[in-house]
Amino acid sequence: MPPIDEEVESKAKAVKHMETKKPTIEGVIVDIDQHGMLVEGKSGTSPGKGKFYFRKDTELYYLDGSKYKKGDLKDLQKGSRVKVWSIDPIMESYPYQTKAKYVLVEKTKK
């Protein structure tokens, strides 16, 4: 039996999660640092603002056509449109706080 490619397995799990679960928030990054990002939700689709802390296992993806490409959290920047999924409890505060598991960066239309 060939060895399991952990990166391929991780990506498959992430893609399945992103395609079948509603994101915690869809919006724009309004602030970011090495510990996390503040995302303001799109009007009518996501609740207010959320502070998402990065975890060791937070994964970033870009959608290129119909293919998910893995990215690096260092590539995130203020103004990026994102969808974020959290699998951790949400701390009730304003803005609410939680940990990001998956981040999908949306392509901006020019």
Burial class (CB in 10 A: 0-12, 13-18, 19+), 40: middle
Lowest mean pLDDT among 8-12, 71-75, 88-92: 8-12
Distances (CA, A) of 106 to 57, 70, 76: 20, 13, 11
Give the pairing of strands 25-32 and 81-85: antiparallel
Alpha helices (H) in the chain, listed in sequence order: 6-20
pLDDT for residue 109:
55
Tens digit of each residue's pLDDT (9 = 90 or more) over 37-85 = 999 998 666 668 999 999 999 999 998 888 889 999 888 999 999 999 9
Return the CATH number of 6-105, one of 3.60.20.10, 1.20.1250.20, 3.40.50.11540, 2.40.50.140: 2.40.50.140
pTM for the full predicted model: 0.86
**pLDDT band (50, 70, 90) for residue 32:** very high
